Amino acid sequence: GAGVSQSPSNKVTEKGKDVELRCDPISGHTALYWYRQSLGQGLEFLIYFQGNSAPDKSGLPSDRFSAERTGGSVSTLTIQRTQQEDSAVYLCASSFSNSDQPQHFGDGTRLSIL
Amino acid sequence: GENVEQHPSTLSVQEGDSAVIKCTYSDSASNYFPWYKQELGKGPQLIIDIRSNVGEKKDQRIAVTLNKTAKHFSLHITETQPEDSAVYFCAASSSNKLIFGAGTRLAVHP
């Protein structure tokens, strides 16, 4: 389909391991966002990419979290030395430009840290 | 920081009744207010949005109202159906990102 695609849909890993989550945005969308959703909670902003501008990393909770967006399309969110509190659903969204345009979400990656 | 408050956290209605969810925001520069519906195991789905130059917008059974002076906006669902059961999130634009409310779990009972 033409929606936002995220992989994997589920990831279980041991504490201390690194994980990499992938987001494939809607074609033509220049803005890409990562959010974290803990169980039964709202969406917590992590990072925002807009075109070739420097990303807004103001929501990243620690230096163990990083993200990149190659070629203005696919993005990866990397969590190093995972901790149990990192367990959550990680959601990606994309839009045509900035936050004043509708954001379309993928179904997320459910991350479980044992 | 910027904040969006959403009430109620849970809402239970009978099929056919109306449901109202209310949000307040803190950033006076916010000018875009979307509403999302999230079903279990899925990502949030945009159901309606409103911009600050409009006071009300309607799409079939759902409507959104905005009061910029009071910094609050509301979602109204009429003639609720069991398939409306889900978690609903409001959001407000702020500094190139969306700030989300904590969500409302709506249950529509047949």
Q: Give the whole-angstrom CA distance, residue B5 versus residue B101.
A: 5
Q: Does A91 touch chain B (CB under 8 A)?
A: yes
User: With an 8 Å Cβ cutoff, are A100 and B93 in contact?
Assistant: yes
Residues of A with Cβ-Cβ distance to B36 under 8 angstroms: 105
Can you give the pLDDT of all 110 residues of chain B as single tens digits?
Answer: 789 999 999 999 999 999 999 999 999 999 999 999 999 999 999 999 999 888 999 999 999 999 999 999 999 999 999 999 999 999 999 888 899 999 999 999 99
Residues of A with Cβ-Cβ distance to B41 under 8 angstroms: 107
pLDDT at A1: 54
Q: Does A43 touch chain B (CB under 8 A)?
A: yes
pLDDT at A99: 64
Q: Give the whole-angstrom CA distance, residue A106 versus residue A110.
A: 12
pLDDT band for position A39 (cuts 50, 70, 90): confident
CA B76 → CA A10, A36, A91, B8, B59, distances in Å?
Answer: 34, 27, 26, 13, 10
pLDDT band for position A2 (cuts 50, 70, 90): confident
